[in-house]
Amino acid sequence: MADEDRFSGSAMIALLPTHAEWSSLKVPHLTLVYAGEIEDLPSGAFNAMAKDACSLAMLSSPITLRVDRIEVFGKEDEQVDVFTLVANDELRSMRNFVENWNASEYDEYRPHVTIGPPGRFIDEPPRVITFDRVTCAWGDSYITFRMKNAIN
C-alpha cells in the first residue's frame, strides 16, 4: 500500500516545500500535526482546521530547515525513507500553534519529509529544505495557503 493511500481517510496540517524533486510522493510535505481519522473528527473540524492553517500562513514567513539524515520510518510492511529535519524555534512555534489538533500515536514530534520506498534514494540529500505554504489536508482534498512574504 502506498504511504499516501493509507492516510486518504485522515486529516492533517502540513508545510509544503518549494521544491521536492527528492520525493516520490504526489504531495511531499512536513506534517505539523496529524489530526486523526476524518470519521472520528467532530462536525465542522475541517473548517476550523482550515482557519488555523490560514492563520498560521498569515503569521509565518517561509521557513528553511536543515536536513539531518536519511532514516527509515514505519512498521515493517509500511516502511518509507525520510529525511529527518532539524527543528528550530520557528518550526516549534508553528507546531505549537496547531498542536491542539494532535491525534498522533507518537509522543515525540520528529519533523521529517517522506522520500519514498526504502532504499530507492541514491542521490546526495539536500542540505536544506524550504517550505513556503501551509496546507490543510482532509482525505484527498487540500486547501493551501501561501505564507506571508513567500515568492509566488
Annotate 20-32 with b (16+ C-beta within 10 A) or e (fewer).
Answer: bebbbeeebbbbb
pLDDT of residue 17: 97
* Cell numbers representing residue 63 in the block: 521557513
Spatial distance between the Cα atoms of 53 and 71, rounded to a whole number of angstroms: 28
pLDDT of residue 1: 36
Q: Which residues of the chain have pLDDT under 70?
A: 1-7, 152
Q: Is residue 124 part of a domain?
A: yes
Beta carbons of 61 and 100 less than 8 angstroms apart: no
Beta carbons of 8 and 140 less than 8 angstroms apart: yes
Q: Is residue 16 part of a domain?
A: yes
State the burial class of residue 4 (Cβ atoms within 10 Å of its Cβ: 0-12, 13-18, 19+).
Answer: middle
Q: Is residue 151 part of a domain?
A: no
pLDDT of residue 152: 64
Q: Is residue 17 part of a domain?
A: yes
Q: Is residue 93 part of a domain?
A: yes
pLDDT of residue 50: 98
* Cell numbers representing residue 125 in the block: 540529500
Task: Please state the φ and ψ torsions of residue 137, each to the nearest 5 degrees.
Answer: -100, 130
pLDDT 10s digits, 67-104:
999 999 988 888 999 999 999 999 999 999 999 999 99
Dihedral sign, CA of 121, 21, 145, 5? negative
pLDDT of residue 3: 47
Q: Is residue 152 part of a domain?
A: no
* Cell numbers representing residue 19 in the block: 521544491
Beta carbons of 24 and 121 less than 8 angstroms apart: no
Q: Is residue 37 part of a domain?
A: yes
The 3-state DSSP class for residue 61 equals coil
Residue 71's domain comprises 5-146
CATH of the domain at 77: 3.90.1140.10
Structural domain total, the chain: 1
Q: Is residue 18 part of a domain?
A: yes
